[in-house]
Amino acid sequence: MGLRRLSDIIVVDTDILIDAGRGIGQALDCLGEYERQRRIAVSVITKMELVVGCRDKRELHGMEKFLSRFRLLHLDGNISQKADELLLQYRLRHGLLIADALIAATSISWNCPLLSKNQRDYRFISELDLLPYDLLISAHLYK
């Protein structure tokens, strides 16, 4: 599987976008810090998870407007194949979920780091460049 290179892009996990949508300062600050350094992208799986969380059309419209500022990375054959490999390798031992496998596979396939608050969901995937959520740590590492 050939890797694409998007060195100026960072993939953000669903959990951080949920917190940002709720107005949680740490998530907003973290997103802002990374946006100053790199372009932010989200997996289409993240978008789908956020759609499922919307309770009405107003929330759906707000979520779509919020996501419009980020690059959307769609699934393809390489991502599907990588997600399948990750599930086979990590489902039984670590409890890897389908959505998390697809998001991790997206980051790996695009050769982009993944920013997630839920480090335990991904930390066992050795080929994934997993970034810390803590703003002070991440700002120090990527300046």
Numbered residues of the known binding site for Mg(2+)? 13, 100
Report whether 104 contacts 127 (CB < 8 A).
no
Question: Closest Cα to residue 38, out of 71, 74, 10, 63?
Answer: 10
Given CA atoms 82, 8, 6, 64 in this order, what sign does their dihedral have? positive
Bridge-partner residues for 42, per DSSP?
A: 72
How many Cα neighbours within 13 Å face the side chain of 67? Answer: 24
3 state DSSP class of 10: strand
Q: Which residues are annotated as a binding site?
A: 13, 100
Report whether 15 contacts 99 (CB < 8 A).
no
